[in-house]
Amino acid sequence: MLNIHPLWGTSCVQGSCLAGRLNALAVLTNGEQAALARIEERTRTLRRGATLQREHDAVAECYIACRGTLMSSVLLDDGSRQILAFLYPGDLVAFPNLVYRAAPETVSALTDAVVAPLDRPTFAGLLQDHPRLVALMLASQQIERVELTDRLAAVGRTSAKARVGALLLEIRNRLRVLDGTGVKSFSLGLTQEEIGDATGLTAVHVNRMLRQLEEEGMIAREAGRLTILDERALQRAANYSDRRAGLELDWLPQGR
């Protein structure tokens, strides 16, 4: 039996996780939802720790994350790793595959996970039948881009404590959007080494930073669960700004 974390596709609409995501940007038509649902009929299941694709693999399709958590990363030739993104249901996974012959990044499953392949012919069909969906995907990519640049700024210009704090807040916010609640306590689902690989730190130093955040009363930890005690202080320490507000997409033309 698969153990799917954090949530079964609660954000899925009409059987499509991507529809759930895009629906938050613009209200989808029935035709659009049906088209997305058809794509996600065919799925692929991954065990926790499994690798969906490795860098430099020959690839011709990307994926839609349906259940579980995944991550994308790159390996440097000294053996160190940089985690680029954590992927949750509704996210587009390995999207650059549509453009590159060889995968630019590795994707692996942090928990048992389900993805739906989206190959080039399907994407081309989508472009012809439902061009607005492609525009919405492009919009979704912009949001991901801003997340990437925020992380770049954090890694390039902020302290270790700030980077760790920002990652905690980002993950908490993503989980919150998924399950719709305002929980302050959640299971991180990452080892300290993974936190380090995402923030450009060593696992040892991540540990010290978590301890420091704990000693300063911003977070609490117990049995793998993490509680944000003083969100305001943590946001200040982390230079964190949530950008989820301030989206505007009602100017797009009607869909089909």
Partner DNA sequence: CGGCCGCTTGAGGTCCATCAAGTCAGGTGG
Partner DNA sequence: CCACCTGACTTGATGGACCTCAAGCGGCCG
CA-derived radius of gyration, the chain: 18
Residue 236 makes CB contacts below 8 A (sequence gap 6+) with none
Q: Which range of residues in 100-108, 177-185, 206-214, 216-224 is near its own copies by CB under 8 A?
A: 100-108
Task: Give 37 or 139: the residue with its C-beta nearer to its own copies.
Answer: 139
Q: Report the candidate in 28, 50, 222 with the shortest Cα–Cα distance to residue 126.
A: 28
Interaction partner, residue 220 (its own copies, DNA, none; CB < 5-8 Å by kind): none
- Burial, 204: exposed, middle or buried (Cβ in 10 Å; 0-12, 13-18, 19+)? exposed
Does 200 sit near its own copies (CB under 8 A)? yes
Does 208 sit near DNA (CB under 7 A)? yes
Does 81 sit near DNA (CB under 7 A)? no
Q: Which range of residues in 114-122, 126-134, 186-194, 247-255 is near DNA by CB under 7 A?
A: 186-194
CB distance 138 to 129 below 8 Å: no
Q: Segment 213-232, which members bind DNA (CB under 7 A)?
A: 221
Residue 34 Cβ vs its own copies, minimum distance, rounded to whole Å: 19
DSSP-derived 3-state class of residue 23? helix
Q: Which of 1, 41, 128, 232 binds its own copies (CB under 8 A)?
A: 128
Residue 83 makes CB contacts below 8 A (sequence gap 6+) with 71, 72, 73, 194, 197, 198
Q: Which of 10, 30, 142, 185 binds its own copies (CB under 8 A)?
A: 142
Distance between CA atoms of residues 208 and 108, nearest Å:
27
Does 222 sit near its own copies (CB under 8 A)? no
Question: Bridge partners of 71?
Answer: 86, 108
Does 198 sit near DNA (CB under 7 A)? no
CB distance 84 to 105 below 8 Å: yes
Q: Which range of residues in 37-45, 46-54, 128-136, 169-177 is near its own copies by CB under 8 A?
A: 128-136
Say which amino acid occupies 166. A
Does 145 sit near its own copies (CB under 8 A)? yes
What separation in angstroms does the CA of 81 have from each of 104, 108, 179, 189, 229?
Answer: 14, 13, 30, 18, 31
Q: Which of 47, 54, 120, 211 binds its own copies (CB under 8 A)?
A: 120
Residue 98 Cβ vs its own copies, minimum distance, rounded to whole Å: 7
Q: Which residues lie near its own copies (CB under 8 A)?
A: 25, 74, 76-77, 80-82, 84, 95-96, 98-102, 104-105, 120-121, 124, 127-128, 131-132, 134-135, 137-139, 141-146, 148-153, 155-158, 199-200, 239, 243, 246-249, 251-253
